[in-house]
Amino acid sequence: MLAAPGGSRQVLEEVRARASHVLTVAGNYRRRLAVCAADVRNGASLSFLISAAHKMQNHAARTLYMLDQQQAIRQAKTARTEAERTSSIRAIAALAGRLESLLRDTKVTVDEVDRLTVGPPDQISWQGQVAQGRAVTWPTDATGYHRVLASLLSFKAQLAEERESLESAATRPELK
């Protein structure tokens, strides 16, 4: 969606509405399932159901985030006045906070699926190191969540670049 600047507004609004609905419904299921924990014999199966609802929420939150980032960057790129640049800087700062929360939430899912697919973290042989959002070679990415995490890190870099561009434009006299 970030790569399609001419996308249909109606389609984007439908995607936004569906993602918002998924956030609500999946959150309700997570809460309802958690209440059942004491009455369930197979706790592992219940935890998988709760995890599935969490993954749906995370996916919906990422979708909403991407829509909002697309809009904020489009507005930032067309900001001409000081007031427009200030508004865009504030919007980008708010998105950066949301993105940090989304990164933490996605990391929980990554750790969870890694335990299921490749084993406990202390038993994984890492082929690379995590360092300031740089690319890392994971032992496996059977679920795609490492790629999701990498895409969120690229969004973080894109936001920082856009904010820097706005702030530097504010200091150049010809753009004031």
Summarised one tens digit per residue, pLDDT across range 26-41 is: 999 999 999 998 899 9
Q: Who has greater pLDDT, 140 or 13? A: 13
Residue 127 within a domain: yes
Q: Domain range spanning residue 135?
A: 9-175
Residue 152 within a domain: yes
Residue 3 within a domain: no
Task: Provide mean pLDDT across the span 41-55.
Answer: 90
Cα separation of 50 and 60, whole Å? 16
Chain centroid offset of residue 8 CA: 22
Residue 80 within a domain: yes
Task: Provide mean pLDDT across the span 36-63.
Answer: 92
Helix axes 43-77, 82-117, angle to 10 degrees: 160
Asked if pLDDT for residue 89 goes beyond 90, the answer is: yes
